[in-house]
Chain A
Amino acid sequence: MGQIFFQTQNLTMQFGGLVAVHNFSIKIEPHEIIGLIGPNGAGKTTVFNMITGNLIPTSGKIIWLDRDITALQPHYITTLGIARTFQNIRLFGNLSVLDNVMVSYHHRLKSSFWDAMLRTRRYRSEEKHIREEAFRILTMVGLDHFAREPASSLPYGQQRKLEIARALATNPKLLLLDEPAAGMNPQETLELARFVRSLRDSFDLTLIVIEHDMKFVMGLCERIVVLVYGHTIAEGRPEDIQHHPEVIKAYLGEKRHARY
């Protein structure tokens, strides 16, 4: 047996009497793109919150690179190589677009506090390097022209891109995207799918994507997990999921509320 890359075992999250997620188990291999779908309130974001340490699961385990990371601190989990974006965009609004990305390099900073105070050569060169790297990522997502603008001044779609840029800058091996296509038009969504796939290759990433846009998910993901009321009702390749009777039932019942 080789190394366990990423695995969750019977993750369960209870809020009071309400079971938000029930026995969520998944095993992911490097380089996969997994889709996590389901009607609103199915517990998808709760799964992300447990993986990233924002919520402590009621029971179950999360294994990352052979290590149990259940209930570790969120910032520590990020340093281990798991990054995320937020469904309800959470940028550092008053900071510049460039600073938003540069923040993500801080946890890997080698210079000491005293280097920074004394502005040593080591500190200055590292700061310069971080600035260039951040710029490179901004250029990739097409935000380099806005580098000096405050993040809050960006249009909605650009803010979503900045979320991704910022997460990428933390140097993740596993990236969790929470509704990256929300609020985008079909053309933008198509570009986003292409972009995410290119990221996987150039950054050697593994991705879990939550998204309501079925076309996006079906086109992008290699494997899909369907969550309904916290229960995993189906898992498989996109074409299998599309014809899965349980999934059809869950989605037909939901159709009126679906966004697209």
Chain B
Amino acid sequence: MNFQIFMQQLINGITLGSLYGLVAIGYTMVYGILRLINFAHGDLLMVATYAVIYSMALFMLPWYLSFPLAILFTGLVGILLDRVAYRPLRNAPRISLLISAIGASFLMENLALVIIGGVPKPFPRPSLFDKVVDLYGVKIQVLTIYTPLTTIVLLLGLLYIVRYTEVGKAMRAASRDFETTRLMGINLDRVIALTFLLGSSLAAAGGIMWAMKYPQVNPFMGIIPGLKAFIAAVLGGIGSIVGAVVGGFLLGIGEVLIVAIFPGLAQYRDAFAFMVLIFLLIFRPTGIMGEAIVDKA
């Protein structure tokens, strides 16, 4: 493998990784507060891409209006998801919460199937992103540059919200100690709703960029990216936002490079992430940036 191809693959990996990272943030934020894997999180990718397709086809919106609207819409779907599937179960056993999450995920997928049909739809990628630039002999589609840049910008924005605003502080307090935060008179349901809004919006951004990279959209498209993003979140140390993005980059780069270096393993590509997860759980269940879990009696 020569340098050009290596760079090309590395950039591919970074792009893929930044998508995993964006989606992983939502998992990590929700897990931080509710200690729940939001199984339906991956399906929000699908919701966002269909929102884009419909707003562009039905309302003839240009992409720069359609994308933000789709992101906002998905954020609201995220809040609705919490309201319907999780909020009634705040005091229920955790297994119930998780089962409700799985139910919600299947409901979203099959509702999409019923409403839209199972035929994959092409995603209308704005031609702006098709351009190719030549960087010292390495040919790069501009999309692959915009994707990680967008991720970094969104990450910085999110970090600002979490660290310097009142709601952000409430979020962090809730993820430290749910009960005490409640006792301090903070409206937790609002904090949680906001968490879902932010996490789902980022997933939507990830979904739109995913669809621009792989422009075939179907009701089940969110499952695999969702699972891998979750693994990225665990890899980075669940609960840590920066960790989620780092985990996303590592997983994306690792996945692309392994296939690039050993082409014979291409068929096993989708299993790679799960092998990472299994080894992670054996050797370092808290992830790279996570804190030790204390088994408190």
Contacts and interface: CB of A to CB of B under 8 A. Distances in A.
A contacting B, Cβ–Cβ less than 8 Å: yes
Interface of A: 15, 45, 48-49, 52, 54-55, 86
Nearest to B295: A54
7 contacts: A45-B297, A49-B296, A49-B297, A52-B297, A54-B297, A55-B296, A86-B297
Interface in B160-213: none
A13 to B, nearest CB: 10
A22 B296 CA distance: 18
B153 interface: no
B282 interface: no
B182 to A, nearest CB: 18
B60 interface: no
A48 B294 CA distance: 15
A54 B297 CA distance: 7
Contacts of A48: 297
A52 B297 CA distance: 10
Contacts of A86: 297
Interface in B208-266: none
A45 B297 CA distance: 9
A156 B297 CA distance: 19
A187 B31 CA distance: 47
A55 B295 CA distance: 7
A213 B1 CA distance: 75
Contacts of B296: 49, 54-55
Nearest to B291: A16
A15 B296 CA distance: 12
Contacts of B297: 45, 48-49, 52, 54-55, 86
A86 B297 CA distance: 8
A56 to B, nearest CB: 9
Most buried by A among B294, B295, B296, B297: B297
